Structure 1
């Protein structure tokens, strides 16, 4: 499917769909939101989308998802999730991510861990459990979401410009590069934790 065919099919819905997927990605990390965000960067490099609107959609979606997940854990609303089977699965998945990531309630965790697979979910849930104040959370989450959005759209822009591939192939290349960068960040975080314990 060409960029123009995709845009014709989605019309003005492309950015709202991207924002929705990024928001849903907070409690459901397997959501393919990165494909849309990086893809919007690749489409912007071809002149099919506005890079500013692409970043804005990703940022608002990321921030909204962070706020919802934070409130869920800050106010102990997870009982609502536990009423449904799918909700229990989501709750258990988030708890597993928390165990895997460790008790990262620091403000740095809100900023850095969003670049690691599942890190955004774990750090935001941990911030809610740890009771980080709303105002502080809003600033750090908003800044982290903005940097992440610029990075992801920029990754799509760079791969779209450098490869000359169709938007979807550029998005896949960007996702691969982003995954490698996330693995590197995860390794650095793990080493810092290990050296702190040693």
Structure 2
């Protein structure tokens, strides 16, 4: 989908399309949620969409997607279906997510919503499969989603005429940060193991 397609989708369907897009993206469907949020911010800046309505719809969609993923993973934990789904995830993402949940718990959930957003669905699945405390998961996830939604809608508002460029740059930065954090964590784990031995 191009930036123009996304703008047309949001113009035609409004906040329901935005809520559905963030919901599906939180379940690891290939939906350009960042672009949807940027487009919503741009349309709100032009008066074509309610800023409060767009923000609330996107946030509710994301939180609902997180909840659906958590409970789905919790229900399927240890089954053949869960193993097949984990096998379809990008290489190593489920292992990284499980490690993050074991080490950082709610902090990992919070940061994965906005700072390490490419890992977000996999952290959700790992949290559900590990039966992480539900209120803790929900609070951390909802807070992180609020930052993610607010940040990208605000960027769309400010950079209304350059949404496609901002979307491409934001995606590259998110993956670069995720890669850097993974490298640092691996280095830290190796140094701890070496120190113990």
TM-score category by the smaller chain? 0.7 to 0.9
Contact 2:14 2:49 in 1 (8 A): no
Unaligned runs of 5+ in 1: none
CA RMSD of aligned residues (A): 3.0
Contact 2:118 2:178 in 1 (8 A): no
d(CA) in 2 for partners of 1:49, 1:186: 32
d(CA) in 1 for partners of 2:151, 2:88: 26
The match for 2:88 among 83, 86, 93 is 93
The CA deviation at 1:191 is 3.9
TM-score (norm 1): 0.78
Unaligned runs of 5+ in 2: 192-197
Q: Secondary structure at the match of 1:31?
A: coil
Count of residues paired in the alignment: 182
TM-score (norm 2): 0.78
d(CA) in 2 for partners of 1:9, 1:150: 19
The CA deviation at 1:50 is 1.6
Find out whether 1:103 has 2:103 as its counterpart.
Answer: no
d(CA) in 1 for partners of 2:10, 2:88: 36
Please identify runs of 4+ aligned residues in structure 1 that moved more than 4 A. 87-91
The CA deviation at 1:90 is 5.0
Residues 9/109 of structure 1: CA separation in 2 closer, same or farther (3 Å cut): closer
